[in-house]
Amino acid sequence: MLLSGKVIIITGACTGIGKAISIKCVEEGAKVVINGLEEDLGIALIGFLGEANAHLVIGDVTESHLPHLLVEMAIKTFGKLSAVVNNAAFIATSDIDDTEIAFFEKMFKVNTIAPFALIQAGTKELSENAGCVLNIGSINAWGGEPHLLAYSVSKGALMTLTRNLGDSLFRQRGIRVNQINPGWVLTDKEKLNKKEQGMKENWFEDISGFFAPSGRIFKPEEIANMAAFLLSDYCGPISSQVFDMEQFPLIGRNMPKDIVITN
């Protein structure tokens, strides 16, 4: 198994990509400390994973005590800390006209500062165990959509954090730091969000080839498969890298014939 003997903290783990990563990690032999806000869903996930394999910590990642609590729970429950997955995120629309400063600050607290705080809290233990960090970003980090201004900027900052720490921490303390930038992922929340925005019940079955050349968008389990590899020793000394999980090139894309660009 890819992750046998490893102990991994996963934030935002009660739903979506974080939940899929938690399940995959346990399937691959790891013990996990899962964090999220949805207590009922977290308890259900613990029941699925088994109490011998998983421990739940409910709490907001921006709370100052939480990073150290998660590290302490990993050590207390499973004896060590091997890896951290910073998956928890705040996603909300905003543009130049409606992005208030308080909103911008909250976006950075969740998406950039909280991942840094957890890495900082776990550095000693990760160093002792030749550990690693995996940050979950977004392809919006490269610029982003017009209505995702604050979110995109916060994920861009996370990407710089990954590259910086992936170099310095690996050189100085042997801790690898990498990032996955997922494209469009079919989570339960995404299904609901699009329905609330007026799209039909089965909107994900009829997506333009411009957005999904394969005819579908990513499953959370596919992001989890990539995560398991990067958390494992099988990937070797990969560090400071950002992996864009998308179906098309983000730069230099050949435009489909049915797409017309006008000035």
Please give the C-alpha separations between residue 122 and each of 27, 59, 129, 244, in angstroms, as whole numbers.
24, 17, 11, 26
Cα separation, 143 vs 162, whole angstroms: 17
Q: Is 234 a catalytic residue?
A: no
The angle subtended at Cα 72 by Cα 174 and Cα 132, nearest 5°, is 25
The token duo for 232 is 């494992």
User: In the β-sheet with 176-182, what is the strand arrangement from edge to edge?
Assistant: 54-58, 31-36, 7-10, 83-86, 132-136, 176-182, 242-245
| Helix 16-27, helix 39-49: angle, nearest 10 | 20
Catalytic position from the list 90, 151, 170, 218: 151
Placement of tokens 């130049």 in the chain: 96
Start-to-end C-alpha separation, the chain: 53
Cα separation, 168 vs 214, whole angstroms: 38
Cα separation, 49 vs 231, whole angstroms: 19
Which residues fall within 8 angstroms of residue 232, CB to CB, at 6 or more apart? 2, 3, 6, 28
Tell me which residues are annotated as active site.
151
